[in-house]
Structure 1
């Protein structure tokens, strides 16, 4: 299934493990302009939530990314699937639980039954533009005088 992407939201229905790979690609494009660390954290959380749905047999599931805040400074990642439960360390979800607690500022579960969702909020950090290379003229930086110059 294709992505549904408008302005500040990206959504994909997950029904097969290969759907996550395509979602990762779309999410990276959706987060263009963010730091590498921010994109990496978001992709790890996406994998953790999708894994919870697959492990619990709660497919199809809908994964949605929404940029929130006055300047889209937060990313909300939510996975909606009937009856999906929060991961716990004793359920074999130790790695995914570690990802959520490490990468997300907030995370949890809302709803119940057919309207359950796991969600995580991550701060978005914009990438700082790369420093402009210093222009050199004849091997001398423009702000410096040659050593022989008074």
Structure 2
């Protein structure tokens, strides 16, 4: 399985549940200039959409992350799969539904019949380069200082 990159997009086909781990790693690299909170929200939403496809038996499915807006200030995460249904609490999608309503500014379903897409829009917040460097070298979130630092 390989990633498909276009300047502001990442696309991956999921054929098996274990493909989600590689998707998470690729998504984290794709969003490496964002805050830890933004990356965490994006990964949670990506997992929720991938889980929906798996739980509904809709693999293979395509997950796409696209930076949108004039300054790439929005992230659209979409899952395209044959006949994938909108998540609902009745369908046992309680935790995933909570993730979508908590992390995404907007989310929904488009299409019908043969192919449908579940999508979510998240605001992107980029990290200051110096703060990101501290996070990577000290293993802490950019807004926290390692113990012993003033």
TM over 0.5: yes
RMSD of Structure 2 on Structure 1 (CA): 1.5
CA distance in 1, matches of 2:36, 2:42: 10
Corresponding residue SS for 1:116: strand
Task: Tell me what 1:103 maps to.
Answer: 103
- 3-state DSSP of counterpart to 2:25: helix
> Cα deviation per residue 1:42-74 (whole Å; 9 max; x = unaligned)?
000000000000000001000000000000000
* Higher-Rg member (1/2): 1
Provide Cα deviations, 1:74-123, integer angstroms capped at 9, x if missing partner.
Answer: 00000000100011011111000000000000000000112200000000
Paired position in structure 1 for 2:28 = 28
Map of 1:134 onto structure 2? none
The runs of at least 4 consecutive aligned structure 1 residues that moved more than 2 Å come to 128-131
Aligned residues: 133
Corresponding residue for residue 41 of structure 2 = 41
- TM superposition score normalised by structure 2: 0.85
Give matches, 1:117-136, under 5 Å.
Answer: 117-130=117-130
How big is the shift at 1:130? 3.4
**Unmatched tracts of structure 1, length 5 or more:** 132-150
Equivalent residues in 2 for 1:83-98 (5 A)? 83-98=83-98
| SS class of match (1:127) | coil
